[in-house]
Amino acid sequence: MENSFHKAEFISFKDLAKTAMKTVNINEKLGLFSEHWSPKIVGELNGQHVKLVKLKGPFVWHHHELEDELFLVIRGTLQMEFRDRTETVHENEFIIVPRGVEHRPVADEEVCIMLFEPATTLNTGDITNELTKTTLDKI
């Protein structure tokens, strides 16, 4: 009896895993929304969210107490401002912002970003304002 329970549990998990093993077309997903500074969840793994977001203009200075963030530029150019310098991130490049580091993303023109970050990450970190997104759409 115990073996059949474990087998049923395994099959259920296996079926769940199959739904995650599908190709995701980044350009198609980017075509589903137009708003800026509103991340969309396109995947989940190991307690992490894979998000797409379109940026334009300056964001708010903030930091994340517990989470590191990875910004991968899909289209455009991102300026990642730190208090002591600015890093320019071009298409097909990424930058990792370690937890606790104050930063501000800036996009002079629209830039499309893929984010890898823990599911607990609030987009505005330690700041709450009109740009804060507490609930994210899954697309």
Looking at residue 137, its pLDDT comes to 86
Looking at residue 134, its pLDDT comes to 83
Burial class, 71, CB count within 10 angstroms (exposed 0-12 / middle 13-18 / buried 19+)? buried
Tokens of 67: 């989470």
pLDDT band at 32 (very low <50, low <70, confident <90, very high): very high
Looking at residue 41, its pLDDT comes to 95
Domain 24-138: CATH class, spelled out: mainly beta
Q: What is the largest CA-CA distance in the chain?
A: 63
Looking at residue 11, its pLDDT comes to 44
- State pLDDT tens for residues 51-71: 999 999 999 999 999 999 999
Tokens of 128: 């709450």
pTM of the shown model: 0.81
- State pLDDT tens for residues 93-138: 999 999 999 999 999 999 999 999 989 897 888 888 888 888 888 9
Looking at residue 95, its pLDDT comes to 99
Domain boundaries, given as residue ranges, for the chain: 24-138
**Which residues fall within 8 angstroms of residue 68, CB to CB, at 6 or more apart?**
96, 97, 98, 99, 117, 118
**Residue 4 DSSP class:** H
Looking at residue 16, its pLDDT comes to 52
- State pLDDT tens for residues 2-28: 444 444 444 445 555 655 688 999 999
Cα(63)–Cα(100) distance, integer angstroms: 5
